[in-house]
Structure 1
Amino acid sequence: MKGFIQTIKNIWSIKELREKLMITFFFLVIYRFGSYVPLPGIDVNEVTRLLAAQADSQQGLLGLLNSFTGGSFNRASILALGIMPYISASIVVQLMGLAVPYLQKLQKDGDSGRKKITQITRWLTIAICLVQAPAYLTLLQTQLLPYSGGFASAYLIDPGTFWFIVPSTIILVTGTVFTMWMGEKITDRGIGNGISILIMVGILADLPRALINAFEIDQTGGIMFLLEIIGLLVVILLCVMLTQAVRKVPVQYVRRAQVGSSSYMRSMTDSVRSYIPLKVNASGVMPIIFAQAIMFLPATLIGFVSDPNSSLSLFFQKVADPFSWQHSVIFAFLIIIFTFFYTAITIPVNQMADDLKRNGGIIPGIKPGKDTADFLDDVLSKITLPGSLFLVVIAVLPAVAHLFGVDQGLAMFYGGTSLLIMVAVILDTIQQINTYLLNHHYDGLMTTGRSKNVA
């Protein structure tokens, strides 16, 4: 504890780091405050009460969106859409970069190209918001209607009028743009990746309430609650291992040097050993996000089935339930597929092989060029399979935890996208803080001053 307190003092003693932390904290406070500001014409207390009566609003993709926005989605806040439209736009631009020559050219143009891609992502974010905002307002009306007996109890004005839809759409779009701006400012002037930190803070906002609920319903004198906390810490440790694990591929760089006097020059070769760190989970949380987007389809298809008691409708209901075994099996299958797909399109083994050849680097025992690309692809395929299986375990753990009696709110923190995002963002932020500490000759937050990779 004494060492930890000294580390905090060291962090506070570095002026630049202190200013960055204060700027980050300032924007996070504004973000959390904005998540409680309701849209004009809505009684936020009544909306919260009505939506709390619906178990479905906390499940599936809607529950994920609400978690990412720190509850803003269910509170009908001006930041209800949060940063998710920007995330969607970034994914679309990234995937289009594989097929659109113009974007491929921008990716190779360095700083100027990145600025243009960022600008394209911003405009695409606004376009997505203009679609999602009216859809969100319509969804809100649909969710409230069966539970309120009409709109009078939740809305101060008629939700179907022009004077509600248009201003609310403009406010929701502005809220997302403002959130995007805060995220970029945190990245530029604060500490860590701003967009990721905003998502993490939104997720963590639900953790205290989940812990309190789990403690209140515990009827074993706190023993079950203690076991749940220990289990959560073990899962977090597994997520850290999954995020940091790499396969080190040895690389040898050969360089030539001239030695001796001008009359007796001779050439000598010197080799420098290095390695290529191939991540076991190179795709991050993207496979889970893609899989969850598809798993939301059964809930949509239920509305198109004429007989709600038919076997097809019951099957869709089971698949849409995130705590059913049917959902877990299909979810796991999709995660494995998307892990291989996303890894294949984001890790350019051919380009890596060309860069090695151009810089005089070789993998011992492997010929440069195509053989190197094939070798890297083979290694990547071998480590992606266990990585995807590990990702499946993390993704379905909430359902397993709920099966063993863990409260639904706390069970959602036992894995899935939320936990992986929190772990990845915290590790990245710690690494940046460590850099500042080590540059000023202080010990880092970790024992060695840097995060270790698990081979």
Structure 2
Amino acid sequence: MFQALVNTFKVPELRNKILFTVFLLCIYRIGFHIPVAGVDQGKLQAMSQNTDSSSPFQRMADTMSMFTGGTLNQSSLFGLGIMPYISASIILMLLGEVWPYLKNLKQEGMAGHKKIQEFTRYLTVPLCLFQAFVIMNFTAKSEAIYPEMRMQAFVFGIVGMTVGTLFLMWLGEQIDEYGIGNGISLLIMAGILSRMPWAVTQVINRATFQFGAQSDEYGPLKIGFLLFGFIFVIAGTILITQGQRRIPIQQAKMMRGRRMYGGMRHYVPLRVNQGGVMPIIFASSFMLFPTFIFSWMGRIQSIEGFAAFLNDAFRPNRFTYNFIFIVCIFLFAFFWTAIQFQPKDMAKRLRDAGSFIPGMRPGNRTADYLENVMVRITFYGAAFLAVIAVVPQAISAFIGIEPNVASFLGGTGLLIVVSVSLDLVQRIESQLIMRNYQGFSAKGRIKGSR
């Protein structure tokens, strides 16, 4: 492995791509320290510290900070991060299943993909303006804006955050073209990893080597459990992320002249976790709505007590919240897989290529078989996502570890970091093998587990 790292910097082209990617990621992190003009950062930090961690706004802010790398106590030009671009991509992806025009563009290959990318950029702008307005409006209500420049701060904040997101979008595209790895995914991973030093510092400050430590201290047992849990969850995440169900494919034999062509056997890999992190993201966003609704219902005097009971039941550490959260993860996992995986199209492509699944007639029988297999493996993938999503709440509730520290033992952030890291390692390894260097694994290329 260490020899592969040395070989990585021996190839000039690969070395330049890596250094270029690191340089742009440094620019991405520097932008978070450029504050929005007219905002009192001290008041904003004091307000965020006094906010209830289980309130709807704080949970929404935590979700945004995971994708931006910023926090609620900081108003910067990159405060929106790349999240508006991700939202625009998801919206157009969903519209592509119901809007014939977008569906036709998806079938046009690279030209259609570029056109959809252009629409994504256009849609990102209004989403940036709306989200920046919401953030600046909340900042104004918390009296964190200087009174003498209220209007100027609104204009600077909305325009600055919008331009900051568009600049990050441009950075991601530059990484795609001139760097290595997926640019948008690397920006998200950098934002998530930026919180890790703070979590490590919290553990070090509260660590003690005495048994029977207090509830706010981390004794040897808690620290050992953190290390073991961190390694175990990452290993499980890699196993499920790389997990595949390989469908055997037989290529039909063809006679051309006096020679026989075809007849080769290969396979179609179906990922166990086909939806990636999207089911958790959708489920987390969906679970914000009940809390907002119950908070609004609490203002009505006639049902104030009942609304308070429901609001308490939908806190992250309650059984009701986690049960419905798990159900939503399963539902969104099957929904997202149904959008991404089209068995009829795959069966048609196999038939056109002269390939077939042994024992299955080409056409509808093949499509039904692929759909049944995908439903079964999606169930296990959704169960894994549910476990990963609930692990931080369970650790925080039963062991007494701070939620922000426990979040590195599971959840969306860990899943994103592992997935992006695997993709980056595989891209670097393919570049090394293409130039006759050994990859990171002594047994060959890093492949999916069966």
Does TM-score exceed 0.5, indicating one fold? yes
Shift of 1:45: 3.6
| Equivalent-residue separation in structure 1 for 2:153 and 2:338 (angstroms) | 45
> Is 1:441 paired with 2:436?
yes
More deviation, 300-309/439-448:
300-309
Task: Indicate conservation of the 8 Å contact 1:72/1:79, yes or no.
Answer: no
Shift of 1:441: 1.7
Question: What's the counterpart of residue 113 of structure 1?
Answer: 112
Q: 5+ unaligned residues in a row in structure 1: which ranges?
A: 146-150, 261-266
> Is 1:42 paired with 2:30?
no
RMSD: 1.9
Q: 5+ unaligned residues in a row in structure 2: which ranges?
A: 211-218
Shift of 1:25: 0.8
1:168-216 Cα shifts (integer Å, max 9, x gaps): 2111110110111111111111111010110111001111111221232
| Equivalent-residue separation in structure 2 for 1:330 and 1:32 (angstroms) | 36
Task: Indicate conservation of the 8 Å contact 2:391/2:411, yes or no.
Answer: yes
Report SS of the residue matched to 1:155. coil
Matches within 5 A, 1:36-435: 36-56=33-53, 59-142=58-141, 145=142, 151=143, 154-158=144-148, 161-221=150-210, 223=220, 224-258=222-256, 260=258, 268=260, 270-301=262-293, 302-306=295-299, 307=301, 310-319=305-314, 321-403=315-397, 404-435=399-430
Code of the residue aligned with 1:176 in structure 2: it is T
Code of the residue aligned with 1:204 in structure 2: it is L
1:16-52 Cα shifts (integer Å, max 9, x gaps): 1111111111111111010111100112244223312
- Identity across aligned pairs (percent)? 37
Task: Indicate conservation of the 8 Å contact 2:246/2:268, yes or no.
Answer: yes
| Equivalent-residue separation in structure 2 for 1:35 and 1:72 (angstroms) | 10
Report SS of the residue matched to 2:126. helix
Task: Indicate conservation of the 8 Å contact 1:59/1:322, yes or no.
Answer: no
183 and 231 in structure 1: CA distance in 2 versus 1, 3 angstrom threshold = same
| Equivalent-residue separation in structure 2 for 1:450 and 1:49 (angstroms) | 50
| Equivalent-residue separation in structure 1 for 2:135 and 2:334 (angstroms) | 32
Question: What's the counterpart of residue 15 of structure 1?
Answer: 12
| Equivalent-residue separation in structure 1 for 2:63 and 2:373 (angstroms) | 33
Shift of 1:305: 2.1
Shift of 1:309: 5.7
Question: What's the counterpart of residue 148 of structure 1?
Answer: none
Task: Indicate conservation of the 8 Å contact 2:82/2:165, yes or no.
Answer: yes
1:69-103 Cα shifts (integer Å, max 9, x gaps): 11255411111111000000000000100111111
Shift of 1:13: 0.9
| Equivalent-residue separation in structure 2 for 1:140 and 1:424 (angstroms) | 34
Report SS of the residue matched to 2:111. helix
1:390-447 Cα shifts (integer Å, max 9, x gaps): 1100111111111222222211111111111001000000001101111122221233
| Equivalent-residue separation in structure 2 for 1:230 and 1:397 (angstroms) | 14
| Equivalent-residue separation in structure 1 for 2:185 and 2:192 (angstroms) | 11
| Equivalent-residue separation in structure 2 for 1:365 and 1:79 (angstroms) | 55
Task: Indicate conservation of the 8 Å contact 1:36/1:72, yes or no.
Answer: no
Out of 443, 446, 449, the position equivalent to 1:451 is: 446
Task: Indicate conservation of the 8 Å contact 2:298/2:304, yes or no.
Answer: no
More deviation, 122-131/267-276:
267-276
| Equivalent-residue separation in structure 2 for 1:364 and 1:420 (angstroms) | 35
Code of the residue aligned with 2:296 in structure 1: it is G
| Equivalent-residue separation in structure 2 for 1:228 and 1:431 (angstroms) | 28
Report SS of the residue matched to 2:265. strand
Shift of 1:326: 2.1
More deviation, 63-72/117-126:
63-72
| Equivalent-residue separation in structure 1 for 2:311 and 2:71 (angstroms) | 28
| Equivalent-residue separation in structure 2 for 1:107 and 1:207 (angstroms) | 38
Task: Indicate conservation of the 8 Å contact 2:297/2:307, yes or no.
Answer: no
| Equivalent-residue separation in structure 2 for 1:197 and 1:322 (angstroms) | 29
Task: Indicate conservation of the 8 Å contact 2:36/2:156, yes or no.
Answer: no
More deviation, 304-313/192-201:
304-313
Code of the residue aligned with 1:217 in structure 2: it is R
Task: Indicate conservation of the 8 Å contact 1:252/1:271, yes or no.
Answer: yes
Code of the residue aligned with 1:91 in structure 2: it is I
Q: TM-score, normalised by structure 2?
A: 0.92
Shift of 1:361: 0.7
Task: Indicate conservation of the 8 Å contact 1:60/1:322, yes or no.
Answer: no
| Equivalent-residue separation in structure 1 for 2:161 and 2:394 (angstroms) | 36
Shift of 1:310: 1.2
Shift of 1:108: 1.5
| Equivalent-residue separation in structure 1 for 2:41 and 2:28 (angstroms) | 18
